[in-house]
């Protein structure tokens, strides 16, 4: 009896990039030598939000959560000795996706590559940026136009490229239920295809539908997540056939990559995260009919800080053991005909269809951004409530919390720390680049981008020409801001208290009492300094503080320390709370505390939350910070009582 042919394994990727283009290039080549089969590029926050490394908002953010790419020279260094014609490259980039793809194309041409053979993906999903990740620049309508500009350009010039990766990953990180994740992601895909249909010839549209891919999240409830992936494949097939009339089955295929859930990784007992990552990977590999085409896994220590190369290697080995040591790829789908799976899939599809109908009645995803943001904040609040009430058990967090010290975190602390000197080096190289380019050619290229953007032309040709002329990321994005305007997305935190948060009576009484002592309602200012767009924590703090009866101010992401201090003066805030998850807490908080003192606000307590190592927490307290909270501080009610105590007049006077 002949053995059945094994399926090919999915692409093995590691989401990586840090410090500088040169250091990231060395990491990529090392990972490829270890058996990684595709690249997944993480860009730093200035690059993602369209700022050069020397912009005021870039301070403390350069090279922290990814690699800084300011111009063609950086992109050239990033892919040095990596033949792009042979590579499959995923670039997690959204607001500046047209620009980064332009730089990638320019480098590929320099290498002598046939551009039509380039394979990879730009995430290019701005809708989820408004809902969860926060790296948007322009308002929704021009952003949608840029998404489809990229898609239309690749249709003609890069036929193997995935021009858009509908990203539901961050929706789950922001608290989405499986039904919301399905519906909000599918609605985004629909919005893009509806717009794209106007930009490509009718005969070429089915192939473009086939190029739209998805990037999803797989959480710890892996049976539900497995069923969610089967529901995704069936619903997308249904939409492509019924809404767009796509006859060819291959163009209706739900093509997706995945990074499994980072939200559930714990700072407490971090070694347990290895099991979580493995279990979550099963959800997207076990079912052949809904198997991911590419998988990237977080590292066990991501709740502590930036993973080291060894940590990423460990996650890569997990994939390789699954693909090559087990017999998973030798069998057909293991779940076809399973009544429990079928019933769950149908249940998820029904919930997603109902949510899609609601979005459709509002005019689609672009028109419904405020609604979706509010729903996510509410869902996330309910998730946190269940953990606090012990309805949801998280091992090491709210059950079995006593543990032996982890040997994995002994010694160096178990994370990589980016050298602060990286930023100065990057800024110096950027200045050198500006000084060495043809200023006239740059000005001409920028003028052409502006003219094309104003005229509604496809932005890609002018962007590629600008990349070759030496234009920088900040200059390109500056044109987009000038033409289309900047945008501040909804926070999802309404002024009205929720009636779903229970067990707050004692805290409300305490807030009332301290407000009486203060002579007015306790004023709590929540701010997010820097470019970090991960706003889930700040939103939940503001949401809970509001429900406890505090008078809150939360204006959303991307505030400078100067703006936050000015608002504290204007509001006469009693307590200031700051959230930073990008690792830039030290320089940003140091500047903010200096500005607080200069503004005569020494008496106003400042509390800080984020992924903050113990030694950094001590530094923050030396700057004058009153409290530091990390992911292990999941009990929001305890934080609320801390804020009340800090605002109490006797406490302030002391």
**Active-site residue set:** 15, 169-170, 528, 532, 534
Integer Cα distance of 252 and 207 in angstroms: 9
Q: Torsion over CA of 117, 47, 485 and 433, rounded to 10 degrees?
A: -90
Report the C-alpha gap between 34 and 16 in whole angstroms: 14
Helix orientation angle between 140-157 and 97-110, rounded to the nearest 10 degrees: 20
CA distance 403 to 590: 34
Q: Which of 320, 293, 416 is nearest to 16 (CA)?
A: 416
- Measured between its terminal Cα atoms, the distance across the chain in Å is 83
- What does 458-477 look like in DSSP terms, one character per residue? -SHHHHHHHHHHT--HHHHH
Distance, in Å, from the CA atom of 427 to the CA atom of 442, rounded to the nearest integer, reads 19
Residue 3 falls in which region: left (phi positive, over 0), alpha (psi -120 to 50) or beta: beta
CA separation for the pair 360, 243 (Å, rounded): 13
Distances (CA, A) of 86 to 38, 47, 116, 272, 424: 10, 25, 12, 37, 34
Say if residues 481 and 446 touch (Cβ distance below 8 Å). Answer: no
Neighbours of 624 (CB within 10 A): 16
Q: CB-based contacts of 401: which residues, under 8 Å, 6+ apart?
A: 268
Residue 39 token pair = 């690249």
Distance between CA 125 and CA 187 in Å, rounded? 12
């Amino acid at each position: 009896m002949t053995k059945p042919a094994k399926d090919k394994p999915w692409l093995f990727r590691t989401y990586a990039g840090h410090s500088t283009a040169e250091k990231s290039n060395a990491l990529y080549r090392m990972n490829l030598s270890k058996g990684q089969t595709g690249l997944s590029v993480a860009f730093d926050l200035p690059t993602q939000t369209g700022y050069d490394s020397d912009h005021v908002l870039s301070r403390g953010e350069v090279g922290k959560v990814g690699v800084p790419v300011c111009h063609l020279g950086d992109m050239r260094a990033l892919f040095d000795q990596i033949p792009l014609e042979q590579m499959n490259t995923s670039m997690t980039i959204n607001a500046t996706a047209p620009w980064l793809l332009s730089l990638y194309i320019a480098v590929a041409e320099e290498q002598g590559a046939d551009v039509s053979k380039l394979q990879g993906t730009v995430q290019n999903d701005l809708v989820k940026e408004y809902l969860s990740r926060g790296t948007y620049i322009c308002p929704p309508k021009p952003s949608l136009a840029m998404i489809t500009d990229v898609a239309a350009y690749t249709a003609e010039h890069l036929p193997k490229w995935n021009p858009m990766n509908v990203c539901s990953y961050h929706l789950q990180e922001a608290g989405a239920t499986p039904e919301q994740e399905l519906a909000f992601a599918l609605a985004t895909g629909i919005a893009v295809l509806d717009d794209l249909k106007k930009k490509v010839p009718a005969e070429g549209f089915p192939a473009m539908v086939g190029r739209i891919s998805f990037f999803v999240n797989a959480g710890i409830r892996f049976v539900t997540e497995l069923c969610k992936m089967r529901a995704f494949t069936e619903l997308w097939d249904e939409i492509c056939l019924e809404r767009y009339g796509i006859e060819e089955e291959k163009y209706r295929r739900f093509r997706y990559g995945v990074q499994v859930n980072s939200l559930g990784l714990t700072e407490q007992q971090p070694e347990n995260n290895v099991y979580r990552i493995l279990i979550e990977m099963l959800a997207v590999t076990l079912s052949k009919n809904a198997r991911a085409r590419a998988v990237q896994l977080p590292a066990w220590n991501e709740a502590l800080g930036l993973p080291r190369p060894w940590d990423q290697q460990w996650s890569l080995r997990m994939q390789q053991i699954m693909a090559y040591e087990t017999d998973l790829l030798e069998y057909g789908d293991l779940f076809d005909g399973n009544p429990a799976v079928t019933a769950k899939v149908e249940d998820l599809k029904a919930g997603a269809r109902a949510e899609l109908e609601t979005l459709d009645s509002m005019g689609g995803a672009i028109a419904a951004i405020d609604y979706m943001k509010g729903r996510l904040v509410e869902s996330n609040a309910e998730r946190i409530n269940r953990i606090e009430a012990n309805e949801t058990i998280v091992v090491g967090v709210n059950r079995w919390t006593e543990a032996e010290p982890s040997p994995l975190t002994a010694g160096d602390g178990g994370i990589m720390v980016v050298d602060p000197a990286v930023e100065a080096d990057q800024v110096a190289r950027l200045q050198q680049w500006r000084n060495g380019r043809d200023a006239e050619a740059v000005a001409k290229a920028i003028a052409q981008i502006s003219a094309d953007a104003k005229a509604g032309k496809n932005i890609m040709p002018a962007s590629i020409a600008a990349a070759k002329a030496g234009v920088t990321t900040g200059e390109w994005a500056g044109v987009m801001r000038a033409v289309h305007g900047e945008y501040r997305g909804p926070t999802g935190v309404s002024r009205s208290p929720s009636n779903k948060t229970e067990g707050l009576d004692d805290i409300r009484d305490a807030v009332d009492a301290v407000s009486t002592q203060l002579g007015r309602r306790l004023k709590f200012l929540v701010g997010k300094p820097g470019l970090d767009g991960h706003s889930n924590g700040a939103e939940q703090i503001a949401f809970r503080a509001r429900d406890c009866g505090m008078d809150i101010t939360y204006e959303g992401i991307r505030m400078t320390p100067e703006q936050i201090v000015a608002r504290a003066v204007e509001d006469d805030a009693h307590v200031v709370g700051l959230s930073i998850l990008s690792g830039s807490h030290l320089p940003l908080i140091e500047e903010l505390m200096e500005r607080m003192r200069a503004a005569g606000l020494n008496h106003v307590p400042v509390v800080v939350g984020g992924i903050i190592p113990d030694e950094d927490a001590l530094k923050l307290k030396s700057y004058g910070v009153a409290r530091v909270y990390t992911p292990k501080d999941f009990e929001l009610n305890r934080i609320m009582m801390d804020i009340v105590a800090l605002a109490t007049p006797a406490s302030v006077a002391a």
